[in-house]
Amino acid sequence: MSKKPVTAVIVGAGHRAIIYADYSLEHPDELKIVGIAEPDEERRTEAAEKYSIPKENCFYDSYELAKKGRIADVIINGTMDKYHVVTSLPLLELGYDMLLEKPFAVNKNEMRLLVNTAKKFGNKVMVCHVLRYSEFYKNIKKTLMSGEIGDILSIQLSENVSYHHYATSYVRGKWANSGESGTSMLLAKCCHDIDMMMWLMGNVKPVYACSTGSLQYFKKENAPENSGERCLLDCPLTDTCNLSAKRMYLDMPGCWDFYVWPELHHAPYNEKYEYLKNISPYGRCAFKCGNNVADHQSVIIKFSSGATGSHNLTGGSAFSMRSIHIIGTKGEIDGSFEEQKFTVSYINPHADSDHDEKVVDLSDRCSAGIGHGGGDHALVADFIKYVRNEETSFSCTSLSDSVTGHLVVFAADESMEKGGVPVKTRL
């Protein structure tokens, strides 16, 4: 007997929520989008047309949706970070299960509130840590679970955020100022990576984190000589500066279109030019944007086993890169997410090179640039199993599974503010 598809309402029709909702177009037997809550009329209309949502199920926001009562099985919450908790609470109280974008909370108080509410009303909440679903990290997890490299002594992660990504999202864009977005750079960008570390460490829990970092480069005093306030309006360097809005968004077609041109995606060049020149926040000089989040940060974590973890974040690099190096008592793992390849090395004093190694090459399965290494839709498929009470994969991230990584981020940011002193990772 065929099962009915899980019915869902989108809350916040942003880039991430639409990616998850698109699973319904490929697998209509598993997921059906039946409602939309989105303040932006154009986005709301586009989503309604795309998923054939009836007019009576189109709402301005989550509060208006909540007044209607429960009209579906689940919510796909893709609102901005600082709205995750406030938009979720009234819907959890109605009994909705939820797929919730990360970070699921921006501070400890919000975290407690959301966790307690979900516990009270018995909701199944899954957090969108999509990297857990990529073939690259899944295979590293399997290697660790097999015991091939023994107990972990050290786990080192790094993420370099490309200059165009950093300038778009964390200098000119939505996550540039923590006072406005509610999130730090580490929370917004790297709760993926910190969650990954907690997942790979298994049952070994963190004890404390210490961190240092700053906004060093992307600030007014480092602006090029004679630069203007807006790249296309009053700057003589618009055709030569590496961070020029013209070079990034007009001369590099497709570069962050979903952020830069939300209403002008199909507009002609001259219309985009004028918008970028005079109005768009993405047309500002990258050194004069009022941004305050760190452009580099390092985190060190002590675990209960005595193992150590580290994560290095750098914004403004030539290209994006995630790397990982895990050292165990029997061997080690060293890999690159962009290459979709990792090497497992084993101690062997009898080998010519003092060790044996095998290379795990996953590049033929999925590109790192496609949906978080293939993780996006794999996550939605697992969420459907989760709410149906079916067996899920080991990547499934319930709300309780995500708490530890968030606590580490909160502790690291507090440590950085206090000059690098250790801060305990507790709720």
Asked if residues 98 and 85 have their Cβ atoms less than 8 Å apart, the reply is no
Asked if residues 400 and 105 have their Cβ atoms less than 8 Å apart, the reply is no
What's the whole-number mean pLDDT along residues 46-63? 97
Burial class (CB in 10 A: 0-12, 13-18, 19+), 277: middle
Token look-up 């303040």 returns 39
Give per-residue pLDDT as tens, 132-179. 999 999 999 999 999 999 999 999 999 999 999 999 999 999 999 999
What span, in angstroms and rounded, lies between the C-alpha atoms of 130 and 374? 9
Tokens, residue 253: 């077609």
Q: Which of 259, 260, 258 is nearest to 246 (CA)?
A: 260
- Please enumerate in sequence order all residues whose Cβ is within 8 A of that of 389, keeping only pairs 6 or more positions apart, or say none: none
Tell me the Ramachandran region of residue 207: left when phi exceeds 0, alpha when psi lies from -120 to 50, beta otherwise.
alpha
DSSP alpha helices (H): ranges in 122-207? 135-145, 163-166, 178-181, 185-201
Length of the chain: 427
Other CB atoms within a 10 A radius of the CB of residue 261 amount to 18
Q: Which of 384, 410, 382 is nearest to 395 (CA)?
A: 382
Burial class (CB in 10 A: 0-12, 13-18, 19+), 265: exposed
Q: Where in the chain are the domains?
A: 6-123, 131-218+291-368+399-424, 230-283
Class level of CATH domain 131-218+291-368+399-424: alpha beta
pLDDT at 356 (0 to 100): 87
pLDDT-derived band of residue 282, with 50, 70 and 90 as boundaries?
A: very high
Give per-residue pLDDT as tens, 341-385. 999 999 888 777 778 889 999 988 765 555 555 688 999 999 999
- Phi and psi (nearest 5°) for 45? -65, -45
What span, in angstroms and rounded, lies between the C-alpha atoms of 86 and 407? 19
Stretch among 79-88, 157-166, 361-370, 386-395 having the lowest mean pLDDT: 361-370
Tell me the pairing of strands 58-59 and 31-37: parallel
Tokens, residue 87: 């938009």
What span, in angstroms and rounded, lies between the C-alpha atoms of 76 and 11? 6
- The yes-or-no verdict on residue 51 having pLDDT over 80 is yes
- The yes-or-no verdict on residue 1 having pLDDT over 70 is no
For residue 136, give Cα distances in angstroms to 181, 204, 251, 309, 364: 31, 22, 33, 19, 11
Residue type, position 325, single letter: H
What's the whole-number mean pLDDT along residues 76-87? 96
- Phi and psi (nearest 5°) for 234? -140, 25
pLDDT at 264 (0 to 100): 80
Asked if residues 169 and 248 have their Cβ atoms less than 8 Å apart, the reply is no
Domain 6-123 has CATH 3.40.50.720: yes
User: Mean pLDDT of all residues in the chain?
Assistant: 94
Global pTM exceeds 0.85: yes
- Greatest Cα pair distance in the chain: 72
Kindly state the percentage of the chain with pLDDT values over 70: 97
